[in-house]
Amino acid sequence: MENILYAPWRDEYVTGEKIDGCVFCHISTHESDDESLHVLYRDEHCFIVMNRYPYTPGHFMIIPHHHTDALEALDPNVWLHMSALAQRGVRMLKESFGAHGVNIGMNLGKAGGAGIAEHIHLHLVPRWERDTNFITAIGENRVYSTDFEKIYRRLKGLAETYFKG
């Protein structure tokens, strides 16, 4: 018996316009496209963007505008700012998005598992009790339980409260 998973949001990945160069630098420099690029927040040091292929609904990343693949070369003030944004992001995911927990992490370098190794980024992945199922554990596939755009709009509204100020 053949198993088929329907994932229409992946069509854009396969057929959509490809970004030349670093995708994060593209997002950093195209503020006028924030909605279509799913940016939740931006300031002079960083921007926060939804992960287009999330582990769970609400998975986003905090990314410095400065292009670097080396955390150790990042300005310490930018790193502290990223950490402060992470604290606010965790608060938002727990208080207003209903997450029971949050995974935070960075994969540094290709050998460290980074999908986009040339530009560091910090993942915040909301988690819920019993959010892992047999498809993830045995079938090595993920099931995204809700509409990506709906989650983006919800988090975008929350970001106004949690990240500004």
Q: What share of the chain is helix, strand, coil (3-state, %, to 5)?
A: 40, 15, 45
3-class DSSP state of 12: helix
pTM score, two decimals?
0.84
Mean pLDDT of the chain: 86
Q: Which domains are seen in the chain, by residue range?
A: 10-162 (3.30.428.10)
Catalytic annotation present for 121: yes
Catalytic residue, from 38, 59, 119, 121: name it.
121
Place of tokens 């994932």: 7
Q: What is the pLDDT of residues 84-131, one digit of tens each?
A: 999 999 999 999 999 999 999 999 999 999 989 999 999 999 998 877
